[in-house]
Structure 1
Amino acid sequence: MRVAALAGATMSLPALADTLEASAAQRALTNKPVFFTADQDATVAELADTIIPTTSTPGAKAAKVNEIIDILVKDCYKEADQKAFLEGLARTNKLSQDAYGKAFVQLDPTQRIEIVKKLEAEAKQQKADMAAAKAQNASGQQDVQMPGEKRKSATPFFTMIKDLTLTGYFTSEVGATQALEYVAVPGRYDGCVPLKAGQKAWAI
C-alpha cells in the first residue's frame, strides 16, 4: 500500500508501516474516514482539489488524496499538529461563511480559490511573525507578541495541507502515471535469462 511508502522513515519503523496499512485497510473496508468526520473529509477533498485541480490531467480528488491525508494526519501527526490541522479546517469554513455565507464545499471554484489565497496569505504572515519572534529572541529582547507555546515553529495550516496534497498526489497512481512521466523500476521481468559459462548469479 502506498501510504506506508510515503515517508522513508517507515522503512526503518515497521510498526508505523503496519499502523498505516491497518488504517488504509480500515478506510477501504468501511469507506469512511479513520480520523476526520465526514464533513472534514469532504472539506479536505475540495481543498486538495483546489490546490491541484483537474486540467489536462486528473486532479487531487480523482487521485483520492483526501484518503491519504486522513491516514497520514491520524498516524503520523502529533496530537498538537492534529489539533492545528482541524483548527485549520474550521478556519477555512469560517472564512467561507464570512465571505460567501456558505461552507467551503458549497463554494464555486472561483470562490474556493479566493479562500485558498486567504489561507496562503495567513500562512505567510504566520511564518513572518515566527521569524520576527525568533530574531527578537536571538537579540535578547523579550518576545511579548507570541506566548511560549506558539513561539515554537508551528507549521501553518496551509503549509500542512499543501505539502500533504502534493505528497499524496504525486505518489498516487494517477499522479505518478498521468501527471508525471512514469518509468517502471526495475522494469521488465525476464524469468529465464541464459548465463554464460562461469558467470556469477545476478544480485537481488
Structure 2
Amino acid sequence: MERRLAIKQILFLAGGMALLPSCLRDTGKSSIALQTIDVSLDQEHLLADISETIIPETKTPGAKSLNLHLFAIKMLDDCYAKEDQELFFKGLDALQDRSEAQFSRSFQKLTVPEREQLLLAIEKDEQAEPAIKKFYDIIKSKTIEGYLSSKYVMTNLVVWELVPGRWNPYYAVKSA
C-alpha cells in the first residue's frame, strides 16, 4: 500500500517540476527565445500593435492573431547585422517619441486612424531620421513576409497545383 503512495507522490513531484519553469519565467522578457537582442514585454506588445496596424484583422486573421510580430523579432535576431538591430530599436523609440509629440499619447493608446496616420507619415517622410526609416522598413517587410508565409495563407488562401498538373484519364485523345 505504501508503494502506491510513493508512486503518487513521485508523479506529483515530477508534474510540479515540469511546471516550475513556466512559473519562474521573467515577466518583463520577450515570450520567445532570442540569441543576440533583448526585447522587453512592453516592446513586444508595441510591435504587435504596429504589426496589427499594418495588417489589421478583417474576415481574415490579422497580424496579432498570427503572431507576426514574433516572426519579425526572430528574423531581426537571426538575420540582421548588429548595426541594423541597433537602428531598429532606436527607430522604435523614435516612433514612440513621435507619437508622444504628435498626439500626446503613446502609440498603444492611439486610435486606429491615428496609428495609420502616424505610420503613413513615417512612410512618406523623406527627411525622417534613418533609424525610424530603417525600423519602419524592417517591421513592414517582415510583417508582410510573415503573413504571406503563414500557415493560414498557405493552407486557406493559396491553391497549390502540383507540376505538371492533374491527370485526367478520361480525356479524349484525337487521332492523327
TM surpasses 0.5: yes
Deviation at 1:175, TM superposition (A): 3.1
Cα 1:94–1:185 shift into 2, 3 Å: farther
Deviation at 1:184, TM superposition (A): 7.6
Deviation at 1:171, TM superposition (A): 1.0
Matched, 1:44 2:61: no
Secondary structure (helix, strand or coil) at the match of 2:95 reads: helix
Structure 1 unmatched runs, 5+? 1-29, 130-149, 187-204
In structure 2, the residue matched to 1:117 is 120
User: Which aligned segments of 4 or more residues in structure 1 are displaced greater than 6 angstroms?
Assistant: none
Structure 2 unmatched runs, 5+? 1-28, 164-176
Distance 1:83 1:42 in 2: 19
Selected match of 2:57 from 32, 37, 54? 54
Deviation at 1:48, TM superposition (A): 0.9
Matched, 1:167 2:152: no
Selected match of 1:82 from 70, 81, 85? 85
Letter in 2 for 1:51: I
Q: Among the aligned pairs, what percent are the same residue?
A: 28
Deviation at 1:78, TM superposition (A): 0.6
In structure 2, the residue matched to 1:66 is 69
Secondary structure (helix, strand or coil) at the match of 1:68 reads: helix
Secondary structure (helix, strand or coil) at the match of 1:57 reads: coil
Q: TM-score, normalised by structure 1?
A: 0.56
Cα 1:185–1:37 shift into 2, 3 Å: farther
Letter in 2 for 1:181: V
Which of the two has higher C-alpha Rg? Answer: 2
In structure 1, the residue matched to 2:158 is 181
In structure 1, the residue matched to 2:104 is 101
Distance 1:58 1:90 in 2: 28
Distance 1:175 1:116 in 2: 25
Count of residues in correspondence between the two structures: 130
Q: TM-score, normalised by structure 2?
A: 0.65
Deviation at 1:42, TM superposition (A): 1.0
Contact 2:30–2:39 (CA under 8 A) maintained in structure 1: no
Contact 2:30–2:41 (CA under 8 A) maintained in structure 1: no
Distance 1:159 1:125 in 2: 15
Distance 1:161 1:82 in 2: 11
